[in-house]
Amino acid sequence: MRDAGASQWSNWSGCVKAQPGQQLFPRDLDELRAAIQGARGGVRVRGAGHSFTPLNATDGTMICLDEMAIPMVQVLAPDDGELRARLPAGASLNALSAALQAQGLAFRNLGDIDVQSLAGATATATHGTGREFPCLSGELRACSIMTADGDIRSVDAVSSPDELAAAQVSLGTLGIVLSADVHVREAFKLHRRAQVRPYREVLEQAPSLWRQHRNFEFFVIPGSDYALTLTHDETDETDAPDIAENLGDDHAGLQKLLWLRNTLAWAPSVRRWILNRVLRSERPAQQVGTSWKLLASDRRMRFHEMEYHLPEAVGLTALDEIRSMLDREQPRLFFPIECRMTAADTAWLSPFQGGARISIAVHVHHNDDYQWFFDQLEPIFLRYGGRPHWGKLHSLGRSQLRELYPNFARFEELRRSLDPDGRLLNPHLAKLFGEAAGA
């Protein structure tokens, strides 16, 4: 198996850096078993490195499944009639979407991007938006896991419901997920519409827009009185190219917002006036195409991010308070604030366990300071009963997490039974679970 040695590793945004002693790329199950059993120091298995929290950081052994040879898609025929596919957990969501499409199938929903690995995305409860759709972990019906001692366990809702509820959102602490049985559907097309509208109007109409559209989300544009709404609805129309002018290109839009921030940082009221004028003149954009190609997009401008998931009843009130705080305290912010909704699921560590939640995400340019996320933003999220996205910046530790998750202690007990020596823990995870990091 390939060992990339002790070179430095960094996550996508650059806010997490690590120097693993070994970086192993096993090619089959025997090599994977040898990697985990013979690992030097603590062991972390990574996906595409798109988490902002140091879930993958280790000075021991980092394992990556990119070179594993396994079948892409096995279509299953479960007794309950649900469409399901067995997928290799280390593969990227976009490779899996293409492979599913070749079988006439598709993921029911996706987040903003699709370059994450399936296992990485489910490990942190990665979500998109839509009243009817749970996060990806909520679509997971069974999986196969190689534990720290090299054993392989099959986990499903009938024979091991507790293990499944834990494995759906595991932060990579139960073992290496090899494959996952995922609820999918027939391939489908979407009609996507993007439109700039007054912020107050969007805030007021958001609950009904979530009911009307398959997928609805909006982006509050800092320093302006506007928001960008994005809807996706199922369609049979023939594919239509993007007829967007400016709205179709996220990257170009961000570059303009950054330029305006840099040029007019000295005069926020002038910036607001110009921004409002520009935004008022934006024409709506629309596009028809394959579901996974429209749901996920390219994120070329690197950023750091904090996202909390809030109870549905208070999510929009919290957003309004956050917007006022940001206007007052963070005039340099230019990245739109993203607001989405995700349906409930039952995974023990899912932020959506117990009820649908509204997610609010704040981003800063990768060169900008983000300490204020913790000082100014996180206290508001917490006051409204928010749960952090596991893969995005947060400062919570065990005592707060035990308050937020009714099944946290059950997860801890199961985790300890599968990895009693904490070999799969690093300092970040040890803080979350109140344990010593694996040596």
Ligand X SMILES: Cc1cc2nc3c(=O)[nH]c(=O)nc-3n(C[C@H](O)[C@H](O)[C@H](O)COP(=O)(O)OP(=O)(O)OC[C@H]3O[C@@H](n4cnc5c(N)ncnc54)[C@H](O)[C@@H]3O)c2cc1C
Rounded CA separation 415/174 (Å) = 6
User: How would DSSP label each residue in 276-299?
Assistant: HHHHHTPPPEEEEEEHHHHHS---
What would the two tokens of residue 5 be?
């040695």
Provide the pairing of β-strand 61-64 with 43-46: parallel
- Minimum Å distance from CB 307 to ligand X? 7
Shortest distance, position 410 Cβ to ligand X, whole Å = 19
- Phi/psi zone of residue 202: left (φ > 0), alpha (ψ -120 to 50 degrees), beta? alpha
Number of residues that bind ligand X (CB under 6 A): 33
Whether 227 and 204 have beta carbons less than 8 Å apart is answered as no
By CB under 6 A, name the one of 26, 42, 47, 422 that touches ligand X: 47
Distance CA 325, CA 329 (A): 6
> Which parts of 284-313 interact with ligand X (CB under 6 A)?
299
The nearest distance, CB 56 to ligand X, in angstroms, is 5
Question: What is the pattern of x (binds ligand X, CB under 6 A) and - over residues 16-45?
Answer: ----------------------------xx
- For residue 126, the minimal CB distance to ligand X (Å) is 4
Name the one range near ligand X by CB under 6 A: 121-129, 260-268, 276-284, 394-402: 121-129
Q: Does 257 participate in binding ligand X (rule CB under 6 A)? A: no
In terms of CB distance, is 44 or 357 closer to ligand X? 44
Question: Tokens standing for 387?
Answer: 């749960």
- Quote the tokens at residue 409: 């202690």
Q: How far apart are CA 369 and CA 166, in angstroms?
A: 35
Is the separation of the CB atoms in 106 and 188 below 8 Å? yes
CA distances from 148 to 173, 231, 317 (A): 9, 43, 44
Kindly report the length of the chain.
439
DSSP state of 365: E
Q: Considering the rule CB under 6 A, would residue 365 count as an interface residue with ligand X?
A: no
- Return the number of the residue (275 or 393) whose C-beta is nearest ligand X: 393
> Could you say whether residue 111 binds ligand X (CB under 6 A)?
yes
Q: Determine the Cα–Cα distance for residues 59 and 379; give it in Å rounded to an integer.
A: 32
386 binds ligand X (CB under 6 A): no
Looking up tokens 């430095």, which residue turns up?
8
Nearer to ligand X, 298 or 329 (CB): 298
Question: Which listed range, 112-120, 188-196, 225-233, 275-283, lies at the site for ligand X (CB under 6 A)?
Answer: 112-120
Given candidates 35, 73, 106, 113, which one binds ligand X under the rule CB under 6 A?
113
Q: Which of 86, 108, 127, 394 binds ligand X (CB under 6 A)?
A: 127
Residue 254 binds ligand X, judged by CB under 6 A: no
What is the smallest separation between the CB atom of 39 and ligand X, expressed in angstroms?
A: 13
Map 185-223 to HEC letters. Answer: EECCEEEEEEEEEEHHHHHHHHHHHHHHCCEEEEEECCC
- Is 418 a binding residue for ligand X by CB under 6 A? The answer is no
Helix (H, G, I), strand (E, B) or coil at 174: coil
Tell me which residues in 69-98 interact with ligand X (CB under 6 A).
89-90
Q: Does 190 bind ligand X (CB under 6 A)?
A: no
Cross-strand partners of 282: none
Which residue of 20, 120, 138, 422 would you call a contact of ligand X, by CB under 6 A?
Answer: 120
Q: How far is the CB of 423 from ligand X (least distance, A)?
A: 13
Part in contact with ligand X (CB under 6 A); list of ranges 172-180, 228-236, 273-281, 367-375: 172-180
Sole binder of ligand X in the list 171, 294, 316, 318 (CB under 6 A): 171
Closest CA to 248 of 230, 272, 235, 261: 230
What's the closest the beta carbon of residue 328 comes to ligand X, in angstroms?
27
Binding site for ligand X (CB under 6 A): 12, 44-51, 55-56, 65, 89-90, 111-113, 116-117, 119-121, 123-124, 126-127, 171-172, 176-177, 299, 389, 391
